[in-house]
Amino acid sequence: MQVGCGKGAPETNGDQAPRESPPLCVLVIDDPQMAAAIRRAAGQWRIEQGGEVTVKEATAEQLGELEHFQADGLICAPAYIGALASEQKITPLAKQWLAQCSNQWGGVFELLRLREAGWGEQTYAVPLGSPVLVCYYRADLFEKFERKPPRTWAEYQQLAEFFADRKNLGDAAPPDDQPWSGALEPLAPGWAGLMLMARAAPYVKHRSNFSTLMDIESLDPLLGRPPWIRALEELAAAAKTASHDTLAMDPAAVRAAFWQGQCAMAISWPTAADVLRPQSAEGSPSIPPAGSATAGHSGAMTAQKIAVGFVELPGSREVFDIGRNRWTARAEDEDAHVPLLSVAGRVGLVTARSPHPEAAYRLLLWLSDDTNSPQICAVSPWTTLFRHGHLQTPQLWVERGLAPREAAQYAATVNTALMRQQWLDGLRIPGRAEYLKALDQSVHQVVRGEVGVLEAMVGAMTRWREINRQLGTKQQKLAYLRSLGLDEL
């Protein structure tokens, strides 16, 4: 059996007629929008491949019961790759499959294809779009006050403090009764730890060290080291400039507040799943309060009133060398920016129990190709553009109302981020939720002023050690190595 890699390319056997695809079942985790899109596309798959596709849905809590769903393909967040691979519930993609489809794979952004899709030295996942956090900024305000987008976290802090002070804005200041923040970051439960990791990434990712979050030999957490301390200190300082309750805001709420004109900078990512709400009687879009449940899901926006720019998250020309236990300057040819992978996103996986693994792989490729992905992947709030072909139509992947130039700037930002030399893996290992919960708690304690930064990080390290012991330090060490693309030291 061969794997068809092009649009409408069915399986063939020599000179025989195309072979029909067997019936396949796809299980979609926590993504009703994508599940509905695949159901709509099933008819086209039937026309092109001659097979039926059934779509089932489940929650992340039900992933432990994967074998009961009898699915061939699984669509979920890339963060689950480690746990599923460790439990042997998914199968690696055969090298001959990848070789036969090298052209299609070559169209995927580099870090997603080579890093996020991998586990150890094998490839497990078909990328379906994984956003990196980016910095929205008010291009109109930055131009008015002759400011440049931040290149480093130090510059970001200066901008956050400047724009937070309404006196600096003069006639551009929002009304006194309107919330206003210099910068907003998603620090709600489930996001605060990830935001800390994103800030720490350029500080901890030294070109000579694999050890970033944990020591690769002992698995001891490194959260008490200077780069993590600096990252948390800076996060807390930025949070103090905000008038919003950032500890209750997820990326969607941050994005909604930006489009409501409530901040000068915001860390999130664009999505075509956001909707523009009808005009109110006053002529302004009807938008729920930032941070509300409705705002978190709708992301309603006023793009026609706000000029937006996009840049990568700030970087650092200084990095901490774990081996030498000191800060050093980056080499001139070394990137100052280090993206955090697996913040959100979706990937397609072939289940270990599928009786038709090659056909399942072919279906996942079909869903992810240049033709079908804009209709199937772009509808999810958890994805973003992930192929070079998407750079030609970036407006399909962003909020409605963005100008073509703004959408193109976002696409170029993602493309640049996902071609960086260095990256930080977002803990794609068993126990990820528990590790991140401990980081969340430390961030919240510091932002609320309950404990000092060092005390908070020592607490997180203690909890991480407990998680390692509970899950088995030996097994966790192997999983951590594989998350970095290694099978052994």
How far is Cα 277 from Cα 289, in angstroms, rounded to an integer?
A: 13
| pLDDT of residue 302 exceeding 60 | no
Count of CB atoms situated within 10 Å of the CB of 209: 17
If you average pLDDT over each of 63-67, 165-169, 399-403, which comes out highest? 165-169
What pLDDT does residue 6 have? 53
Contact (CB, 8 A) for 5 and 104: yes
**Residues 262/289, Cβ–Cβ less than 8 Å:** no
**pLDDT (average), residues 45-52:** 94
Cα gap 28→77, rounded to integer Å: 10
Pick the CATH number of 24-131+343-404 from 3.30.30.10, 3.40.190.10, 3.90.1150.10, 3.30.470.20: 3.40.190.10
| Res. 283: pLDDT tops 50 | no
The pLDDT assigned to 18 comes to 47
Most confident residue range from 58-67, 114-123, 206-215: 114-123
pLDDT surpasses 80 at 176 = yes
- Specify the amino acid at residue 260: Q
Share in percent of the chain as helix, strand, coil (round to 5): 45, 15, 45
Query: Could you tell me if 47 and 41 are in contact, meaning their C-beta atoms sit under 8 angstroms apart?
Result: no
Q: Which residues contact 146 (CB under 8 A, 6 or more apart)?
A: none
- CA-closest candidate to residue 83, choices 339, 338, 342: 342
332-348, pLDDT tens digit by residue? 889 999 999 999 999 99
For residues 155 and 78, give the distance between their C-alpha atoms in angstroms, rounded to a whole number.
32
pLDDT band at 104 (very low <50, low <70, confident <90, very high): very high
Q: Quickly state the pLDDT bin for 275 (edges 50, 70, 90).
A: low
Task: Mean pLDDT check: name the lowest of 22-31, 269-278, 313-322.
Answer: 269-278
Pairing label, strands 263-268, 73-76: unpaired
User: Within the chain, which residue ranges are assigned CATH 3.40.190.10?
Assistant: 24-131+343-404
The answer on pLDDT for 276 being more than 70 is: no
The structure tokens 């609320």 sit at 448
Task: For residues 255 and 246, give the distance between their C-alpha atoms in angstroms, rounded to a whole number.
Answer: 12
d(CA 297, CA 277): 13
pLDDT band at 4 (very low <50, low <70, confident <90, very high): low
Select from 489, 487, 352, 482 the least CA-distant residue to 428. 482
CA distances from 460 to 56, 127, 225, 235 (A): 37, 31, 12, 16
Q: Collect all residues with Cβ–Cβ distance below 8 Å to 271 and sequence separation of at least 6.
A: 131, 255, 299, 380, 381, 383, 384, 397, 398, 399
Which sign, positive or negative, has the C-alpha torsion 31, 33, 34, 36?
A: positive
Report the alpha-carbon distance of residue 95 to residue 101 in Å, rounded.
10
- Report the percent of the chain where pLDDT is more than 90: 83
Tell me which residue of 351, 316, 267 sits closest to 70, measured CA to CA.
Answer: 351
- pLDDT-derived band at 285 (thresholds 50, 70, 90) equals very low
Reply yes or no on whether the pLDDT at 293 is more than 70. no
pLDDT band at 2 (very low <50, low <70, confident <90, very high): very low
CA distance 337 to 205: 10
Say if residue 304's pLDDT is above 80.
no
User: CATH: 2.60.40, 3.40.190, 3.30.420, 1.10.287. Which one for 134-329?
Assistant: 3.40.190
Sheet strands (E) in 230-307: 263-268
**Looking at residues 258-266, what average pLDDT do you find?**
96
pTM of the model: 0.91
pLDDT mean over 443-467: 98
Kindly report the average pLDDT of the chain as a whole number.
90
Ordered strands of the 308-312 beta sheet: 181-184, 263-268, 134-138, 308-312
> Would you state the pLDDT for residue 207?
86
Q: Does the pLDDT of residue 5 top 80, yes or no? A: no
Q: How far is CA 82 from the centre of its chain?
A: 16
- In this predicted model, what pLDDT tens digit does every residue of 372-389 receive, in sequence order? 999 999 999 999 999 999
